[in-house]
Amino acid sequence: MDKSFNKGLDPELKKIVKDEWQRQQNHIELIASENYVSPAVLTLAGTILTNKYAEGYPGRRYYNGCENVDKIENLAIERFKQLFNCSHKPGQCKKGNFHANVQPHSGSQANAEAYAAILRPGDTILGMQLDAGGHLTHGYKINFSGKIYHGVNYGVSKKDEYLDYDEILKIAKECKPKIIVAGASAYSRLIDWSKFRKIVDTVGAYLMVDMAHIAGLIAAGLHQNPICYADITTTTTHKTLRGPRGGAILCTEELKKKIDSAVFPGNQGGPLEHIIAAKAQAFYEALTPEFKTYQMQVIKNAQALAKTFLDAKFHVVAGGTDNHLLTVNVTNINGLNGKEAVDILEKINIVANKNGVPFDPLPAVITSGVRFGSPAMTTRGFKEEQFIELGKIIISAWKLPKGINDDGLHELRKKVDILLNKFPIYEDIKLPQ
C-alpha cells in the first residue's frame, strides 16, 4: 500500500468522536427523529462497500465490478418491499404489486425526487402546515419545495388539534393541487390514508405519503399501511425504522420509471452502497417479531410520558399521542418558550427539540412548544416506569423559578444520571484507535 495510506486516525477527529460517544452515553435522547442503530447496522455503515462506485441500478450499472453491490441492493429492495406488504392499485391491497428504490440519501432527497418525477416547476403542492406538524419539504416557502413549486398548506382544527379532512378537501378544491402530501414530522395522532385517497380522487391529484416518522410503526402493523392508498410513499430509514441515516421510496408500478429516473440521474449520482447494506440489515431486523414488540413499547412509552404531562395539567397538543411522539405547549409554564424549555433540559442532560404548536404566535427559532419522542430511549431499554419518572423530572425542571441557582437543576441531573447508568449503550463498542 502507499505509505500515505495507513497514517492512523487524525487525533482531533478521534477526540471528537469519543466526545460524541460520551455525550450519547450520558444524555437522555428524546428527539423524535433520532434513534440508536444496532451494532450490526453500525458495522455495515463503515465497511469497504464505501469504495465502490455504482451509478445506475442492479443489472444496469454504468461501472463494472458491481456484482456484489447488486446483490446487496437487491436484498435491500426485496426486504423493504416485504416490510410494507401491500400492493399498489391505490385503495386495493394485494400482495406485491409495487416498486421500491432504496438509493435516496435522505428523506428530503426522497421527497425532492418524488416531486421531480411527477411535477413541473410552479405546480401546486398541498402539504401540512409547519406549525401543525408538517415538514419543510411539504411545500414550505423557504425550502426547495416551496421555491420550485407552489406550496399551499392545510392545518389542524382549532377545536381539538386533529386533522380536519373536510377542511383539507375544501382547500384542495380551491387550490387544485397536482399532488397532496400526507404525513408529518410532529403530528401525534393517527392519519387516515383512505380519507386522503378520497380527497385526491375527488380533485384529480396524486397522493404522496411521507411516512418517515412512523415507518417503523407501520412496518410492525401498528398503524394503517399507506402503501395501499398512495401513489408514492417516501421515508427515512432512521427514526422509528432504526436504520442508518438515509431515505427510500415506494411507488406504483406505473410510476416506476419516473421515480427511478428522478433519483438517478435526475437528483443523485452513485448510491452509497455501504449505507444501502446497512439499510438491508435494518430491514432484516424490522422483519423480526422482536421489532414489533419494540414498536409496541415505543407507543406505550410515548403515551406514558404524555399522560404524565396531562396529569400535571400541561397542554399536550391534540390531547395525547397514538404514535412515538408528542408536543407540549410550554408557554403557560413559568413564562417559558420552546427554546428556553429545551435549554433548561440540556442542563440536566436531557435532549429534546423546540417545536412549533398549532397556530403558534412565536417564530420558528423560538417556538411555543417542545417535541418529545420515545424511540431512542425505548431502544435503550426504558419502559413506562422510566418514562413516567422522566416526565416528572422534566416537569420539576420547568417549574423551577427563573434565575434560580443551579442547586435545583443539580439534584435533577443526579436523577437523570441514575436513570442513564441503568441503561448503557454500545457496551462492547470499539472506539477509534
Q: Are strands 350-351 and 232-236 parallel, antiparallel or unpaired?
A: unpaired
Cell 412515538 locates to 324
Annotated binding residue at 134? yes
Collapse the DSSP code of 93 into the 3-class scheme (helix H, G, I; strand E, B; otherwise coil) and give the result.
Answer: coil
Residues 97 and 102: their CA atoms lie apart, in Å, by 17
Q: Which of 34, 53, 195, 258 is catalytic?
A: 53
Q: Are strands 232-236 and 206-210 parallel, antiparallel or unpaired?
A: parallel
Annotated binding residue at 135? yes
Helices (H) and strands (E) in the chain — how many of each?
A: 15, 15
For residue 401, what is the DSSP state?
P
Residues 133 and 129: their CA atoms lie apart, in Å, by 7
Segment (H or E) for 355: strand 353-355
Three-state DSSP string of 26-81: CCEECCCCCCCCCHHHHHHCCCHHHHCCCCEECCEECCCCCHHHHHHHHHHHHHHH
Known active-site residue 380 = no
Residues 263 and 216: their CA atoms lie apart, in Å, by 23
Known active-site residue 327 = no
For residue 262, what is the DSSP state?
I
Prior bond to 39 cis, omega within 30?
A: no
Known active-site residue 234 = no
Residues 424 and 36: their CA atoms lie apart, in Å, by 12
Nearest to 132 by CA among 140, 124, 143, 122: 140
Q: H helices within 176-244, ranges in order?
A: 193-203, 215-219
Nearest to 127 by CA among 344, 315, 119: 119
Q: Which of 14, 34, 47, 55 is catalytic?
A: 55
Known active-site residue 245 = yes
Known active-site residue 55 = yes
- The grid coordinates of residue 23 equal 455525550
Q: Which of 61, 189, 242, 245 is catalytic?
A: 245
DSSP string for 263-307: IIIII-SS--HHHHHHHHHHHHHHTSHHHHHHHHHHHHHHHHHHH
Q: Which of 233, 236, 240, 378 is catalytic?
A: 236
Maximum separation of any 2 CA atoms in the chain, in Å: 68
Known active-site residue 53 = yes
Contact (CB, 8 A) for 317 and 188? yes
Q: Which of 239, 242, 307, 371 is catalytic?
A: 239
Cell 412565536 locates to 362
- The grid coordinates of residue 153 equal 398548506
For residue 382, what is the DSSP state?
-
Q: Which of 210, 260, 285, 360 is catalytic?
A: 210
Annotated binding residue at 136? yes
Annotated binding residue at 346? no
Query: What residues are designated binding site?
Result: 130, 134-136, 253
Query: What residues are designated binding site for (6S)-5,6,7,8-tetrahydrofolate?
Result: 130, 134-136, 253
Catalytic residues: 53, 55, 210, 236, 239, 245
